[in-house]
Structure 1
Amino acid sequence: MDKDKRPEVTLRAMEPEDLDVLYHVENDNSMWNISTSNVPYSRYALHNYIADAKNDIYVDGQVRLMIEKENGKVVGVIDLVNFDPKHHRAELGIIIMDKFRRRGYAHAAVTKLISYAHNMLQLSQIYAIVDVENKVCYQCLTSLGFAGDSILHDWLYCNGSYHDAIVLQFFIEKQ
């Protein structure tokens, strides 16, 4: 996608109004093969999650942000999890809702998240664990400067079989 034609996105904290979006995303079992979740979440549990989240990576050990396009419509969710304050790194997670995929929203959101991670959180590294069959995600992240060749054999179990995963790293201070 042409750099000038990439969509503008905003990353913002979760609000109670995001409950329906989170409910949809967390309960979409087609996404479970790319996450560590394999159980549905109730509205009650997600309501409490939104209410209890401090949006402070040092308190929660993670930060989850909603991805909004220009008109304020939520197109996905992006988070930093497995935060390691000693080593200044965290794992990237991102979900773009079906109807907004392949339009540049993931690229724009990860770009914003890298800036946030560097300027506000002082992280030196973000990493992602990607199914080797997820070519779209791999291409998006490598186009942003993520790199890696470490294969985690039989790392992900989905649809009755194991899949290899690749660890991709982005070293913020080297960019």
Structure 2
Amino acid sequence: MENKISVIDYSNYFWQEREVRLRAIKPEDWKSDYINKFDTPSRRLLECAIELPPTIVAAKTFVDENADFSSNNRRIMFTIENLEGQCVGGINLNSIDERNGTFSIGIVIYKEYQSRGYGTSAMKILLKYAFLEQRLNKFNDAVLEGNDGSANMMKKLGCVQEGVRRKVIYTNGQYLDMILFGLTKDEFIDKHKVEGNF
């Protein structure tokens, strides 16, 4: 007997927001990972360095190691897809310190899908999960100087700029700052109550 899945009703689905839904990484996601590693400016902002040229083997290995929440690197890895089902990027919950209740989130939105609100929507889902389901209390992030898209997204989410680590990253022949952002659980809840999201 063949496994058939009827049409899924996402209307009350926790892992969906207005623009996107999060899902487990699937084996076929290697293609998007591979193709989007050729976007050097975006990769430099994400990794704070120039990576070696991408390979199909590395893309398939990454997906194999993280598919279906199988990662053993203490990251909870998701694929971000828009509501039409297109893979638009990836996001992960990482650096979880359960004793102190702190965590970070890594996110990439592929070039052709940037500036559509997908990143902000995906971040809201994962922040809600971290704060309201995992009982974490403080989100910490660092954005490379010049990464205006990520800095603006942090501000939209209600994050507070907490400081600057001056000239700590060397890339493209220059030393750049890391801008530090933070958001507490109470700040997140207060902002989203005002916006009518809770």
TM-score by shorter chain over 0.5: yes
Is residue 11 from structure 1 mapped to residue 22 from structure 2 by the alignment?
yes
The question of whether the paired residues in 1 share the 8 Å contact of 2:36 and 2:111 is answered with: no
The equivalent residue for 1:20 is 31
Which secondary structure state, in structure 2, belongs to the residue aligned with residue 60 of structure 1?
coil
Unaligned runs of 5+ residues in structure 1 are 1-5
Residues 1-175 of structure 1 correspond to what in structure 2 (within 5 A)? 7-36=18-47, 38-53=51-66, 55=69, 59-174=72-187, 175=189
Letter in 1 for 2:32: V
Taking only aligned residues, the RMSD between alpha carbons, in angstroms, comes to: 2.2
Aligned position for 2:10 = none
Q: 1:83 to 1:27 in 2, by over 3 A?
A: farther
Aligned-pair identity (%): 24
Q: Could you say which structure has the greater relative contact order, defined with CA pairs below 8 angstroms and 6 or more residues apart?
A: 1
The change in CA–CA distance for 1:81 and 1:27 in structure 2 (over 3 A counts) is farther
Larger radius of gyration: 2
Query: Counterpart of 1:35 in 2: which secondary structure?
Result: helix
How many corresponding residue pairs? 169
Moved over 6 A (4+): none
Work out the CA distance in 2 between the residues paired with 1:138 and 1:10. Answer: 22
Q: Determine the C-alpha separation between the residues in 2 that align with 1:81 and 1:42.
A: 25
Deviations 1:7-54 (A, max 9, x none): 421011100010011112344322332233623443223322322336
What is the DSSP-based 3-state SS (H/G/I as helix, E as strand, rest coil) of the residue aligned with 2:52?
coil
Q: CA deviation at 1:162?
A: 1.1
TM-score, reference length from structure 2: 0.75
Gaps of 5+ in 2: 1-16, 190-198
Change (3 A) 1:27 1:99: closer
With normalisation by structure 1, the TM-score equals 0.84
Change (3 A) 1:22 1:120: farther
Q: Do the aligned partners of 1:33 and 1:156 also contact (CA within 8 Å) in 2? A: no
